[in-house]
Amino acid sequence: MVSLYRDTGVVLRVQKLGEADRIITLLSRQHGKVRAAAKGVRRTSSRFGARLEPFCHVDVQFYTGRTLDVVTQVETVDAFGSGIVGDYPRYTAACAVLETADRLSAEEGEPALKLYLLVVGALRALSGRERDPALVLDAFLLRAMSFAGWAPALTECARCGTPGPHHSFSVPVGGAVCGGCRPAGAAKPTADTFRMLDALQHGNWPVAEGMPNTTRRESSGLIAAHLQWHLERQLRSLPLVERNRVAEVQ
């Protein structure tokens, strides 16, 4: 075990620890999610407190501790926060990016390079202010779900695989569904909404940015519903999985 290590990461979350310290949660390039103590960062004299705020992309050195690793040095790589915090729509979109990344990277120390690249790319786009923040968020969420293995089917039927285009979308089934597989209660998005989702998934910005607000709202709603359904299912099933494992060991 190395006593000192280094990585580049995005600060996802900060929590207070004791009187002057913080626990920092980072999504890092090489080590996945890392939680570490940053000592003294809530004092005005702190050398690196301001660099360890949410949205910061930082190069960090850690000392391996007994329970929590300890931050010993921080350099700023990209100060994404300055382009985000003064603009409410960008700020809320960026918060959703960080929260989703935190939820999807459940295991500390498990490499998550693809998710790290998606988060850095989304924050860079939000900070750069060139694109609609709602579209950046939706593109990020679609690709993050792909990282998690839950990408919605958009062109073929999620149940039987029949090539589309299809006209119905079912979150529990996993995306687009054909007329034969369509369950009761499936949504009936417009053809433009399916094109919009495909454009966001594949980075086709001219198509995505050319869509009217009604299509944008419908595609955002489907993406949010798909993500929420999977995150809630994940949380409900997790305790059962852990109990089963213990039972097997005994």
Partner 1 sequence: MAIRPYRPSDFDAVHLICKATADAGVPMTGLPDPDIVGHCFAGPYVTFEPELASVHEDEQGVAGYVIAALDSTAFEARWRAEWSPRFIESHPPPSVSAEPEADAWLRELLHNPSSPAAVEFPDHPSHLHIDLLARARGAGVGRRLLDALFDSLRAKGSPGVHLLVGQTNTAAISFYRAVGFTELTTSVPGLAAFGMRLD
Residues of the shown chain interacting with partner 1 in the complex, contacts defined by CB under 8 A: 1-2, 4-8, 29-32, 59, 61, 77, 109, 111, 113-114, 117, 120-122, 124-125, 128, 131, 136, 139-140, 143, 201-205
Measured from the CB of residue 63, what is the shortest distance to partner 1 in angstroms?
9
CB atoms within 10 A of CB 152: 23
DSSP class per residue in the chain: --SEEEEEEEEEEEEEETTTEEEEEEEETTTEEEEEEETTTTSTT-SSGGGSSTTEEEEEEEE--SSSEEEEEEEEEEEGGGGTTTSHHHHHHHHHHHHHHHHH--SBT---HHHHHHHHHHHHHHHHT-S-HHHHHHHHHHHHHHHHT-PPB-SB-TTT--BS--SEEETTTTEEE-TTTPPTT-B---HHHHHHHHHHHHT-HHHHHTS-HHHHHHHHHHHHHHHHHHHHHHHHHHHHHHHHHHHHH-
Q: Which is nearer to partner 1, 43 or 129 (CB)?
A: 129
CB of 86 to partner 1, least distance (A): 20
Output 64 or 237, the one with its CB closest to partner 1: 64
Residue 1 or residue 184: which is nearer to partner 1 going by CB? 1
| Least distance between partner 1 and beta carbon 75 (Å) | 9
Task: Closer to partner 1 by CB, 14 or 58: give it.
Answer: 58
The least distance separating partner 1 from the CB of residue 58, rounded to whole angstroms, comes to 10
Q: Do residues 70 and 96 touch, judged by C-beta distance below 8 A?
A: no
Q: Which is nearer to partner 1, 30 or 162 (CB)?
A: 30
Shortest Cβ 90–partner 1 spacing (Å): 13
Cβ proximity to partner 1: between 46 and 146 the closer is 146
Shortest Cβ distance from residue 142 to partner 1 (Å)? Answer: 10
